[in-house]
Amino acid sequence: MHIPQKLTILDGAMAMDGGSISLLGKDQSGNIVKISLGWSLEAQANGTVKLSLNKMSVEKRSSEEEKLLGVLKNADIQYSEAPTSPPAERAALGEDISEYTNAIENGPESALRRLNNQLISNVRSEIYTGAEPLSKKLEK
């Protein structure tokens, strides 16, 4: 799996499925990079959430995952009015909607930064690692 050294995030979205996130960017060579986090309520409940880079699954707690999170943490945010590929659906639902909506009100770059930070936070959570799927938390 090729992890870019540098990333500029151009567009992104949060889905209405519980918080799945899609980011679209360019690497240091100008190649399109698509990062997605499958974070649906069903995936959270089943412990099957997953991070993907260009439609390839990133192994949980692997060196590739850590490198990708580092690239995301240091990514430049540069909203583009005309992205080079179709934007993802633009909707949000769930606990994070208030923060995401506030970020949108502060402009597209703020919204993209919020999505990027949320993706990193979710991947570092117990739900993502499978330590405790959401279904187990709900049983308590």
- At residue 103, the pLDDT reads 77
- At residue 18, the pLDDT reads 86
**Which stretches within the chain are classed as H helix?**
41-46, 63-73, 97-105, 108-123, 126-129, 134-139
- At residue 48, the pLDDT reads 92
Q: Are 94 and 28 in contact (CB under 8 A)?
A: no
Question: Residue 16 has which token pair?
Answer: 């209405």
**Mean pLDDT, residues 99-120:** 85
CA angle at 28 for the pair 27 and 33, rounded to the nearest 5°: 5
Band the pLDDT of 136: cuts 50, 70, 90. Answer: low
> What pLDDT digit, counting tens, does each position of 39-96 carry?
999 999 888 999 999 999 999 999 999 999 999 999 999 986 644 444 444 444 455 5
Q: Are 92 and 72 in contact (CB under 8 A)?
A: no
- At residue 63, the pLDDT reads 96
Q: Of 128, 113, 122, 129, which Cα lies nearest the Cα of 23? A: 113
Q: Of 130, 116, 108, 123, which Cα lies nearest the Cα of 51? A: 123
Q: What is the pTM of this model?
A: 0.80
